[in-house]
Amino acid sequence: MAYTYEYPRPALTVDCVIFGLDESHQLKVLLIQRKNDPFAGRWALPGGFVDMDESLEAAALRELEEETGVRDVFIEQLFTFGAPERDPRGRVVSVAYYALVNLSEHPVEAASDARRVEWFPVQELPPLAFDHDKILQMATNRLRAKVRYQPIGFELLPEQFTLSQLQQLYETVLGVDELNKRNFRTRILKMGVLREVGKQENVAHRPAKLYSFDKEAYEQLFRERYDDLLRRGVDFEI
């Protein structure tokens, strides 16, 4: 005999905050323009309802691909949003996910119930549907906090990169105009997660050193200093 709940059940949805960096290292977020009510014509995060036979992450990846064409993205769970008034259709709880991707590797195409899909600078957003402004703000804060204790965005750089390229990436994610160059380089090199691999070639200026990310060294560092890294992070601005 099937078990039935005596309590009302809210609907369950997922929303995806997909950050991307363009060629000018501007931080952007992927939004869809809703085709249907509620909020028809309003911009929103990609997402939708969870099917009964799929996991939350599977639902997020499915909705992301269906509405934007973006696939093969590593997403992380952000938070659960459950304010009773967040959806005019009724009681809807949403589990949000986020990711950071390279725009050039993920062409977008609107489909399903998305009228349009576009990348917007995080500082120049249109009015958003539901409580998606709160979701996006939390995702932005999480991304900027995470960058202080866990290397992120290395997949957005060439396999071999300069410290200037790496600093520009961190400045973009942290939302600052300019980090202290000497402090940044001292602190990032002190972590021991970069491997020097040579120098630039065929450049008009003095060739800069090239580095690659040493994933094994980072994983060992993170295991050994996990609590300290989470508590203190790496402050590049001091």
Among candidates 142, 137, 134, 149, which has minimal Cα distance to 236?
A: 149
Residues 38 and 16 in one domain: yes
Put residue 41 in one of left, alpha, beta given phi > 0 → left and psi -120 to 50 → alpha.
left
Residues 114 and 224 in one domain: no
Instruction: Measure the N-to-C terminal CA separation of the chain; round to a whole number of Å.
Output: 64
Whether 1 is in a domain gets the answer: no
Residues 136 and 20 in one domain: yes
Residue 65 has pLDDT above 60, yes or no: yes
Whether 122 is in a domain gets the answer: yes
Mean pLDDT calculated for residue range 107-117: 94
Residues 21 and 69 in one domain: yes
Please report where in the chains the tokens 């992301």 appear, as a residue.
64
Residues 16 and 101 in one domain: yes
Q: In total, how many domains does the chain have?
A: 2
pLDDT tens-digit map of 182-225: 999 998 898 888 999 999 888 778 889 999 999 898 888 777 77
The pLDDT score that the predictor gives to residue 71 is: 95
Q: Which two tokens stand for residue 79?
A: 């938070």
pLDDT band at residue 238 under the 50/70/90 scheme: very low
3-state secondary structure 106-134: CCCCCCCCEEEEEEEECCCCCCECCCHHH
Please enumerate in sequence order all residues whose Cβ is within 8 A of that of 117, keeping only pairs 6 or more positions apart, or say none: 30, 31, 32, 33, 46, 67, 68, 69, 108, 109, 110
pLDDT tens-digit map of 14-43: 999 999 988 888 899 999 999 999 999 999
Tell me which range, 18-27, 65-74, 155-164, is most confidently predicted by mean pLDDT: 65-74
Among candidates 181, 146, 155, which has minimal Cα distance to 74?
A: 155
Residues 75 and 109 in one domain: yes
* Chain centroid to CA 15: 12
Mean pLDDT calculated for residue range 93-108: 93
Residue 102 has pLDDT above 60, yes or no: yes
Backbone angles phi, psi at 44, to 5 degrees: -155, 170
Considering 80, 113, 146, which residue would you say is the last residue of a domain?
146
Helix or strand run (H / E) with residue 66: helix 56-68
2 versus 99: the higher-pLDDT residue is 99
Residues 22 and 140 in one domain: yes
Q: Residue 39: which CATH number?
A: 3.90.79.10
Residue 234's Cβ-side half-sphere holds a number of Cα atoms within 13 Å equal to 26
Considering 129, 146, 163, which residue would you say is the last residue of a domain?
146
Residue 235 has pLDDT above 90, yes or no: no
Task: Average the pLDDT over each of 85-94, 119-128, 177-186 and give the range with the smallest value.
Answer: 177-186
The pLDDT score that the predictor gives to residue 116 is: 98
Among candidates 106, 145, 155, 128, which has minimal Cα distance to 47?
A: 128
Considering 146, 175, 199, which residue would you say is the last residue of a domain?
146
Whether 114 is in a domain gets the answer: yes
65 versus 156: the higher-pLDDT residue is 65
Mean pLDDT calculated for residue range 223-238: 63
d(CA 94, CA 167): 35
Whether 6 is in a domain gets the answer: no
Please provide the average confidence, as pLDDT, over all residues in the chain.
90
Mean pLDDT calculated for residue range 74-103: 96
Residues 23 and 141 in one domain: yes
Residues 138 and 165 in one domain: no
Q: Residue 186: which CATH number?
A: 1.10.10.10
Domain range enclosing 218 = 154-232
The SS3 assignment for 3 reads: coil
What's 226's DSSP letter?
H
The pLDDT score that the predictor gives to residue 233 is: 64
